[in-house]
Structure 1
Protein backbone atom coordinates (compact mmCIF):
# COMPACT_ATOMS: atom_id res chain seq x y z
CA UNK A 1 0.00 0.00 0.00
CA UNK A 2 2.73 2.45 0.96
CA UNK A 3 4.63 1.80 -2.26
CA UNK A 4 1.55 2.57 -4.36
CA UNK A 5 0.83 5.70 -2.33
CA UNK A 6 4.40 6.93 -2.88
CA UNK A 7 4.22 6.17 -6.61
CA UNK A 8 1.00 8.15 -6.95
CA UNK A 9 2.42 11.01 -4.88
CA UNK A 10 5.62 11.16 -6.96
CA UNK A 11 3.79 11.08 -10.29
CA UNK A 12 1.17 13.63 -9.20
CA UNK A 13 3.87 16.18 -8.37
CA UNK A 14 4.72 16.30 -12.08
CA UNK A 15 1.49 15.66 -13.97
CA UNK A 16 -2.25 15.60 -13.39
CA UNK A 17 -2.77 12.58 -15.67
CA UNK A 18 -0.40 9.71 -16.39
CA UNK A 19 -0.19 6.60 -18.52
CA UNK A 20 0.37 3.40 -16.53
CA UNK A 21 1.81 0.58 -18.63
CA UNK A 22 1.13 -2.86 -17.21
CA UNK A 23 3.10 -5.82 -18.57
CA UNK A 24 4.59 -9.12 -17.43
CA UNK A 25 7.57 -7.05 -16.26
CA UNK A 26 5.41 -5.05 -13.84
CA UNK A 27 4.17 -1.47 -13.81
CA UNK A 28 5.85 1.42 -15.63
CA UNK A 29 5.07 5.13 -15.56
CA UNK A 30 6.84 7.84 -17.57
CA UNK A 31 5.95 11.45 -16.93
CA UNK A 32 7.32 14.87 -17.89
CA UNK A 33 6.10 18.06 -16.26
CA UNK A 34 4.32 20.59 -18.53
CA UNK A 35 7.39 22.85 -18.75
CA UNK A 36 9.61 19.87 -19.73
CA UNK A 37 12.03 20.50 -16.89
CA UNK A 38 11.53 17.35 -14.82
CA UNK A 39 11.08 13.74 -15.90
CA UNK A 40 10.09 10.67 -13.95
CA UNK A 41 10.65 7.11 -15.13
CA UNK A 42 9.35 4.62 -12.63
CA UNK A 43 9.35 0.84 -12.91
CA UNK A 44 7.95 -1.55 -10.33
CA UNK A 45 8.61 -5.25 -10.80
CA UNK A 46 5.86 -7.76 -10.01
CA UNK A 47 7.78 -8.58 -6.81
CA UNK A 48 6.83 -5.13 -5.45
CA UNK A 49 3.20 -6.31 -5.21
CA UNK A 50 1.56 -8.96 -3.04
CA UNK A 51 -0.07 -10.32 -6.19
CA UNK A 52 0.39 -9.20 -9.79
CA UNK A 53 -1.63 -10.78 -12.62
CA UNK A 54 -3.23 -9.61 -15.80
CA UNK A 55 -2.82 -8.99 -19.48
CA UNK A 56 -0.50 -6.28 -20.83
CA UNK A 57 -2.37 -3.00 -21.17
CA UNK A 58 -2.10 0.76 -20.86
CA UNK A 59 -4.43 2.88 -18.75
CA UNK A 60 -4.67 6.64 -18.36
CA UNK A 61 -5.10 7.70 -14.75
CA UNK A 62 -6.27 11.00 -13.25
CA UNK A 63 -3.77 11.36 -10.42
CA UNK A 64 -6.00 13.46 -8.13
CA UNK A 65 -8.78 10.86 -8.33
CA UNK A 66 -6.27 8.12 -7.60
CA UNK A 67 -4.97 10.04 -4.57
CA UNK A 68 -8.57 10.48 -3.36
CA UNK A 69 -9.11 6.72 -3.53
CA UNK A 70 -5.87 5.98 -1.66
CA UNK A 71 -6.81 8.47 1.07
CA UNK A 72 -9.56 6.01 2.07
CA UNK A 73 -6.96 3.54 3.29
CA UNK A 74 -5.88 2.87 6.83
CA UNK A 75 -2.48 1.51 7.88
CA UNK A 76 -2.30 -2.17 6.99
CA UNK A 77 -5.05 -2.03 4.35
CA UNK A 78 -4.52 -3.83 1.06
CA UNK A 79 -5.34 -2.13 -2.21
CA UNK A 80 -6.70 -4.13 -5.12
CA UNK A 81 -6.87 -2.71 -8.65
CA UNK A 82 -8.91 -4.44 -11.35
CA UNK A 83 -9.32 -3.34 -14.95
CA UNK A 84 -11.31 -5.35 -17.50
CA UNK A 85 -10.27 -3.35 -20.56
CA UNK A 86 -12.12 -1.13 -22.99
CA UNK A 87 -14.07 1.78 -21.54
CA UNK A 88 -14.64 0.02 -18.25
CA UNK A 89 -13.60 1.83 -15.08
CA UNK A 90 -10.68 0.88 -12.87
CA UNK A 91 -12.21 -0.89 -9.87
CA UNK A 92 -10.34 -0.20 -6.66
CA UNK A 93 -10.77 -1.98 -3.36
CA UNK A 94 -9.27 -0.26 -0.35
CA UNK A 95 -9.98 -2.26 2.78
CA UNK A 96 -13.75 -2.84 2.58
CA UNK A 97 -14.44 0.14 0.28
CA UNK A 98 -14.97 -0.51 -3.44
CA UNK A 99 -14.87 2.38 -5.93
CA UNK A 100 -15.02 2.58 -9.70
CA UNK A 101 -12.72 5.21 -11.14
CA UNK A 102 -13.19 6.42 -14.70
CA UNK A 103 -10.01 6.47 -16.74
CA UNK A 104 -8.40 8.83 -19.24
CA UNK A 105 -7.83 7.64 -22.81
CA UNK A 106 -4.15 6.59 -22.78
CA UNK A 107 -3.84 7.59 -26.45
CA UNK A 108 -4.42 11.21 -25.39
CA UNK A 109 -1.38 11.12 -23.08
CA UNK A 110 2.09 11.72 -24.44
CA UNK A 111 4.72 9.05 -24.07
CA UNK A 112 7.93 10.93 -23.31
CA UNK A 113 11.16 9.79 -24.87
CA UNK A 114 13.62 8.80 -22.19
CA UNK A 115 17.14 10.01 -22.98
CA UNK A 116 20.06 7.65 -22.63
CA UNK A 117 22.04 8.85 -19.66
CA UNK A 118 25.28 7.31 -18.48
CA UNK A 119 25.85 8.77 -15.04
CA UNK A 120 29.43 8.74 -13.77
CA UNK A 121 28.40 7.28 -10.41
CA UNK A 122 25.71 5.23 -8.75
CA UNK A 123 24.45 5.45 -5.17
CA UNK A 124 22.12 3.12 -3.32
CA UNK A 125 20.25 4.73 -0.43
CA UNK A 126 17.56 3.25 1.76
CA UNK A 127 14.25 4.95 0.98
CA UNK A 128 13.55 5.84 4.61
CA UNK A 129 16.89 7.64 4.93
CA UNK A 130 16.28 9.61 1.73
CA UNK A 131 12.75 10.49 2.85
CA UNK A 132 14.02 11.69 6.24
CA UNK A 133 16.69 13.85 4.59
CA UNK A 134 14.18 15.46 2.25
CA UNK A 135 11.74 16.13 5.08
CA UNK A 136 14.55 17.67 7.12
CA UNK A 137 15.45 20.01 4.26
CA UNK A 138 11.88 21.32 3.80
CA UNK A 139 12.35 24.02 6.43
CA UNK A 140 15.60 25.19 4.82
CA UNK A 141 14.93 25.30 1.07
CA UNK A 142 12.23 24.83 -1.58
CA UNK A 143 14.35 22.43 -3.65
CA UNK A 144 16.92 19.71 -3.13
CA UNK A 145 19.76 18.83 -5.49
CA UNK A 146 20.93 15.22 -5.35
Structure 2
Protein backbone atom coordinates (compact mmCIF):
# COMPACT_ATOMS: atom_id res chain seq x y z
CA UNK A 1 0.00 0.00 0.00
CA UNK A 2 1.17 3.51 -0.79
CA UNK A 3 0.48 5.89 2.09
CA UNK A 4 1.85 9.41 2.59
CA UNK A 5 1.35 12.30 4.99
CA UNK A 6 2.33 15.73 3.70
CA UNK A 7 1.67 19.29 4.80
CA UNK A 8 -1.08 21.05 2.86
CA UNK A 9 1.27 23.94 2.12
CA UNK A 10 3.88 21.68 0.51
CA UNK A 11 1.27 19.87 -1.57
CA UNK A 12 -0.30 23.16 -2.62
CA UNK A 13 3.11 24.51 -3.67
CA UNK A 14 3.70 21.43 -5.84
CA UNK A 15 0.27 21.53 -7.49
CA UNK A 16 0.40 25.26 -8.18
CA UNK A 17 3.87 25.01 -9.68
CA UNK A 18 2.86 22.17 -12.02
CA UNK A 19 -0.33 24.02 -12.87
CA UNK A 20 1.71 26.83 -14.44
CA UNK A 21 2.29 24.53 -17.43
CA UNK A 22 -0.25 21.65 -17.29
CA UNK A 23 -3.60 20.58 -15.84
CA UNK A 24 -2.70 16.86 -15.63
CA UNK A 25 0.56 15.29 -14.41
CA UNK A 26 2.19 11.89 -14.03
CA UNK A 27 4.09 11.32 -10.77
CA UNK A 28 6.84 8.72 -10.40
CA UNK A 29 6.71 7.36 -6.84
CA UNK A 30 9.72 5.46 -5.46
CA UNK A 31 10.79 4.41 -1.95
CA UNK A 32 13.17 7.40 -1.84
CA UNK A 33 10.72 10.08 -3.00
CA UNK A 34 8.63 11.43 -5.87
CA UNK A 35 9.66 13.03 -9.15
CA UNK A 36 7.46 14.72 -11.73
CA UNK A 37 8.21 16.37 -15.08
CA UNK A 38 5.62 18.40 -16.98
CA UNK A 39 5.80 20.33 -20.26
CA UNK A 40 3.19 22.74 -21.59
CA UNK A 41 1.25 21.79 -24.77
CA UNK A 42 3.27 24.24 -26.88
CA UNK A 43 6.55 22.71 -25.64
CA UNK A 44 7.81 26.17 -24.60
CA UNK A 45 8.09 25.66 -20.82
CA UNK A 46 8.86 22.70 -18.58
CA UNK A 47 8.73 22.13 -14.81
CA UNK A 48 10.73 19.39 -13.10
CA UNK A 49 10.29 18.65 -9.36
CA UNK A 50 12.05 16.33 -6.91
CA UNK A 51 10.18 15.66 -3.65
CA UNK A 52 12.40 13.66 -1.25
CA UNK A 53 10.76 11.29 1.25
CA UNK A 54 11.88 13.45 4.18
CA UNK A 55 9.47 16.16 3.03
CA UNK A 56 6.68 13.86 4.25
CA UNK A 57 5.68 13.31 7.88
CA UNK A 58 4.90 9.72 6.84
CA UNK A 59 6.06 7.98 3.68
CA UNK A 60 5.19 4.31 3.21
CA UNK A 61 6.05 3.24 -0.34
CA UNK A 62 7.09 -0.35 -0.95
CA UNK A 63 7.59 -0.38 -4.71
CA UNK A 64 8.09 2.01 -7.60
CA UNK A 65 4.96 3.03 -9.48
CA UNK A 66 3.46 5.85 -11.54
CA UNK A 67 0.18 7.64 -10.94
CA UNK A 68 -1.47 10.31 -13.06
CA UNK A 69 -3.69 13.02 -11.60
CA UNK A 70 -6.08 15.77 -12.64
CA UNK A 71 -4.50 18.75 -10.88
CA UNK A 72 -7.75 20.72 -10.87
CA UNK A 73 -9.38 18.01 -8.76
CA UNK A 74 -6.51 18.07 -6.30
CA UNK A 75 -6.78 21.87 -6.06
CA UNK A 76 -10.47 21.57 -5.19
CA UNK A 77 -9.58 19.22 -2.32
CA UNK A 78 -6.87 21.57 -1.09
CA UNK A 79 -9.49 24.32 -0.73
CA UNK A 80 -11.05 22.29 2.10
CA UNK A 81 -7.90 22.64 4.21
CA UNK A 82 -5.80 25.42 5.72
CA UNK A 83 -2.06 25.85 5.12
CA UNK A 84 -1.35 24.62 8.66
CA UNK A 85 -3.11 21.28 8.09
CA UNK A 86 -1.52 18.03 7.02
CA UNK A 87 -3.04 15.57 4.59
CA UNK A 88 -2.91 11.77 4.46
CA UNK A 89 -2.87 10.37 0.92
CA UNK A 90 -3.57 6.68 0.28
CA UNK A 91 -3.62 4.85 -3.06
CA UNK A 92 -6.58 2.46 -3.15
CA UNK A 93 -6.64 0.49 -6.41
CA UNK A 94 -7.43 3.03 -9.14
CA UNK A 95 -8.29 5.84 -6.76
CA UNK A 96 -6.37 8.24 -4.56
CA UNK A 97 -7.88 8.93 -1.14
CA UNK A 98 -7.24 12.21 0.68
CA UNK A 99 -7.84 12.47 4.43
CA UNK A 100 -8.02 15.96 6.00
CA UNK A 101 -9.14 15.77 9.62
CA UNK A 102 -12.63 14.24 9.55
CA UNK A 103 -13.05 14.70 5.78
CA UNK A 104 -12.19 11.94 3.30
CA UNK A 105 -12.32 12.50 -0.46
CA UNK A 106 -11.32 10.17 -3.26
CA UNK A 107 -10.56 10.91 -6.90
CA UNK A 108 -10.03 8.52 -9.79
CA UNK A 109 -6.54 8.16 -11.22
CA UNK A 110 -6.02 8.99 -14.87
CA UNK A 111 -4.74 6.49 -17.42
CA UNK A 112 -0.93 6.65 -17.31
CA UNK A 113 -0.79 5.91 -21.02
CA UNK A 114 -2.65 9.13 -21.75
CA UNK A 115 -0.09 11.34 -19.98
CA UNK A 116 3.24 11.84 -21.72
CA UNK A 117 6.31 12.08 -19.50
CA UNK A 118 8.71 14.52 -21.15
CA UNK A 119 12.42 13.82 -21.28
CA UNK A 120 14.40 16.37 -19.29
CA UNK A 121 16.91 17.94 -21.69
CA UNK A 122 20.53 18.14 -20.63
CA UNK A 123 21.07 21.90 -20.74
CA UNK A 124 24.42 23.20 -19.55
CA UNK A 125 25.09 26.92 -19.08
CA UNK A 126 28.15 27.83 -17.03
CA UNK A 127 27.11 31.46 -16.53
CA UNK A 128 24.46 32.14 -13.90
CA UNK A 129 23.05 34.67 -11.48
CA UNK A 130 21.45 34.13 -8.05
CA UNK A 131 18.94 36.65 -6.72
CA UNK A 132 15.85 37.03 -4.57
CA UNK A 133 12.73 36.04 -6.49
CA UNK A 134 10.91 39.23 -5.50
CA UNK A 135 13.56 41.40 -7.17
CA UNK A 136 13.32 39.51 -10.45
CA UNK A 137 9.52 39.56 -10.40
CA UNK A 138 9.50 43.35 -9.98
CA UNK A 139 11.41 43.67 -13.25
CA UNK A 140 8.97 41.34 -14.98
CA UNK A 141 5.92 43.20 -13.70
CA UNK A 142 7.37 46.50 -14.86
CA UNK A 143 7.54 45.04 -18.36
CA UNK A 144 4.15 43.34 -18.66
CA UNK A 145 2.38 46.38 -20.12
CA UNK A 146 5.24 47.07 -22.55
CA UNK A 147 5.74 43.87 -24.55
CA UNK A 148 5.07 40.12 -24.51
CA UNK A 149 8.82 39.38 -24.40
CA UNK A 150 11.66 40.34 -22.09
CA UNK A 151 15.36 40.45 -22.88
CA UNK A 152 17.72 39.22 -20.17
CA UNK A 153 21.32 40.42 -20.21
CA UNK A 154 24.12 39.20 -17.98
CA UNK A 155 27.60 40.74 -17.78
CA UNK A 156 30.43 40.17 -15.28
CA UNK A 157 29.18 43.25 -13.39
CA UNK A 158 25.35 43.23 -13.59
CA UNK A 159 22.10 41.61 -14.63
CA UNK A 160 19.27 43.39 -16.46
CA UNK A 161 15.77 42.67 -17.75
CA UNK A 162 14.56 44.94 -20.56
CA UNK A 163 11.36 45.12 -22.56
CA UNK A 164 10.62 47.44 -25.49
CA UNK A 165 7.77 48.36 -27.82
CA UNK A 166 7.41 51.09 -30.43
CA UNK A 167 6.10 53.46 -27.76
CA UNK A 168 7.34 52.26 -24.37
CA UNK A 169 10.34 50.76 -22.64
CA UNK A 170 11.08 49.16 -19.27
CA UNK A 171 14.41 48.08 -17.78
CA UNK A 172 15.55 46.69 -14.44
CA UNK A 173 19.28 46.72 -13.70
CA UNK A 174 20.81 44.89 -10.74
CA UNK A 175 24.47 45.64 -10.10
CA UNK A 176 26.79 42.92 -8.83
CA UNK A 177 26.56 44.08 -5.21
CA UNK A 178 22.74 43.83 -5.37
CA UNK A 179 22.87 40.16 -6.38
CA UNK A 180 23.42 37.10 -4.18
CA UNK A 181 25.91 35.71 -6.69
CA UNK A 182 26.93 36.13 -10.32
CA UNK A 183 29.27 34.15 -12.55
CA UNK A 184 29.65 35.51 -16.04
CA UNK A 185 32.65 35.60 -18.38
CA UNK A 186 31.21 37.70 -21.20
CA UNK A 187 28.05 39.60 -22.09
CA UNK A 188 25.10 37.23 -22.64
CA UNK A 189 21.73 38.25 -24.09
CA UNK A 190 18.58 36.22 -24.68
CA UNK A 191 14.85 36.99 -24.95
CA UNK A 192 12.02 34.97 -23.41
CA UNK A 193 8.19 35.01 -23.43
CA UNK A 194 7.06 37.15 -20.51
CA UNK A 195 3.72 35.39 -19.90
CA UNK A 196 5.38 32.11 -18.91
CA UNK A 197 7.82 33.80 -16.55
CA UNK A 198 5.08 35.74 -14.77
CA UNK A 199 2.95 32.61 -14.25
CA UNK A 200 5.95 30.72 -12.93
CA UNK A 201 6.99 33.48 -10.52
CA UNK A 202 3.58 33.55 -8.83
CA UNK A 203 4.21 30.04 -7.49
CA UNK A 204 7.39 30.92 -5.57
CA UNK A 205 7.67 32.80 -2.27
CA UNK A 206 8.96 36.40 -2.73
CA UNK A 207 11.85 35.80 -0.31
CA UNK A 208 13.14 32.64 -2.04
CA UNK A 209 16.47 32.63 -3.84
CA UNK A 210 16.41 31.62 -7.51
CA UNK A 211 19.29 30.73 -9.81
CA UNK A 212 19.02 31.74 -13.47
CA UNK A 213 21.42 30.27 -16.02
CA UNK A 214 21.40 30.82 -19.78
CA UNK A 215 23.46 31.53 -22.88
CA UNK A 216 22.78 33.90 -25.76
CA UNK A 217 19.62 32.76 -27.59
CA UNK A 218 19.52 29.62 -25.46
CA UNK A 219 16.94 28.06 -23.12
CA UNK A 220 16.66 29.60 -19.66
CA UNK A 221 16.99 27.40 -16.58
CA UNK A 222 15.66 28.62 -13.23
CA UNK A 223 16.49 26.51 -10.17
CA UNK A 224 14.38 26.99 -7.05
CA UNK A 225 13.13 25.40 -3.83
CA UNK A 226 9.60 24.93 -2.52
CA UNK A 227 8.29 24.19 0.98
CA UNK A 228 9.24 25.75 4.31
CA UNK A 229 8.34 23.32 7.08
CA UNK A 230 10.19 20.16 6.07
CA UNK A 231 13.65 18.77 6.92
CA UNK A 232 14.49 18.85 3.23
CA UNK A 233 13.31 21.19 0.49
CA UNK A 234 11.43 20.35 -2.68
CA UNK A 235 13.91 20.99 -5.49
CA UNK A 236 12.69 22.32 -8.82
CA UNK A 237 13.80 23.45 -12.24
CA UNK A 238 11.90 25.58 -14.73
CA UNK A 239 13.04 25.48 -18.36
CA UNK A 240 11.94 28.07 -20.90
CA UNK A 241 12.66 28.21 -24.63
CA UNK A 242 14.10 31.47 -25.98
CA UNK A 243 12.12 33.93 -28.06
CA UNK A 244 14.15 34.33 -31.24
CA UNK A 245 14.29 37.91 -32.43
CA UNK A 246 14.68 38.98 -36.03
TM-score (norm 2): 0.52
1:8 aligned residue: 15
Query: Which one has a larger percent strand, Structure 1 or Structure 2?
Result: 2
In the alignment, which of 3, 17, 22 is matched to residue 24 of structure 2? 17
1:74 alignment partner, one of 82, 85, 92: 82
Q: CA deviation at 1:75?
A: 3.1
Q: In structure 2, what is the Cα distance between the partners aligned to 1:38 and 1:103?
A: 25
Partner residue, 2:207: none
Judge which range, 4-13 or 116-125, deviates more: 116-125
Alignment of 1:27-46 (within 5 A): 27-46=34-53
Q: CA deviation at 1:141?
A: 4.0
Contact 2:89–2:98 (8 Å) recurs in 1: yes
- Note the aligned Cα RMSD (angstroms): 2.2
- 1:139 shift after superposition: 4.5
Q: CA deviation at 1:122?
A: 5.8
**Structure 2, unaligned runs of 5 or more:** 1-7, 145-193, 199-211, 213-246
Q: Secondary structure at the match of 2:12?
A: helix
**Which structure is higher in helix share?**
1
Large movers: runs of 4+ above 3 Å: 121-125, 132-139, 141-146
| Higher CA-based Rg | 2
Three-state SS of the structure 2 residue aligned to 1:83 is strand
Q: TM-score, normalised by structure 1?
A: 0.83
Equivalent residues, number: 140
Deviations 1:9-44 (A, max 9, x none): 011111111001100120111100000000111111
